[in-house]
Amino acid sequence: MQALPFYLDEATHAKQRYAKWGADKMDENMDCRPDPEILIQLANTRMPFGKYKDRRLIDLPEPYVVWFSQKGFPHGKLGDMLQMVYEIKVNGLEYLFNRLKSD
């Protein structure tokens, strides 16, 4: 059996990863339309432990989120959310969350 090219494996991995976060919003071309409820939840979820306990995930310092990406994200929903925060920060998209934050 021939190994799949890297990009195919990555696409499959992305579909599996986003299955929990609104796969019904993705078409076959990987055109991701994020679920607004998930974005609101991401904007308002706070870090449950550590130096930045009680800080919104989206407001965590980028070096801290990069550290998680290098050492490994926690398992479960928190890890999934931190992975999304990492992608948002790496791509400079934090400003998209300014209106979504509740006080």
The mean pLDDT value of the chain amounts to 77
Determine the pLDDT at residue 22: 54
Residue with tokens 């609101």: 40
Determine the pLDDT at residue 32: 63
> Would you give the end-to-end CA distance of the chain in angstroms?
54
Sorted by where each begins, the domain ranges of the chain are 28-97
Q: At residue 103, does pLDDT exceed 90?
A: no
Model confidence pLDDT, tens digit, residues 45-92? 999 999 999 999 999 999 999 999 999 999 999 999 999 999 999 998
Find the Cα–Cα–Cα–Cα dihedral 90, 95, 99, 102, rounded to 10°: 50
Q: At residue 34, does pLDDT exceed 50?
A: yes
CA distances to 63, 87, 99 from 18, rounded to whole Å, are 24, 13, 24
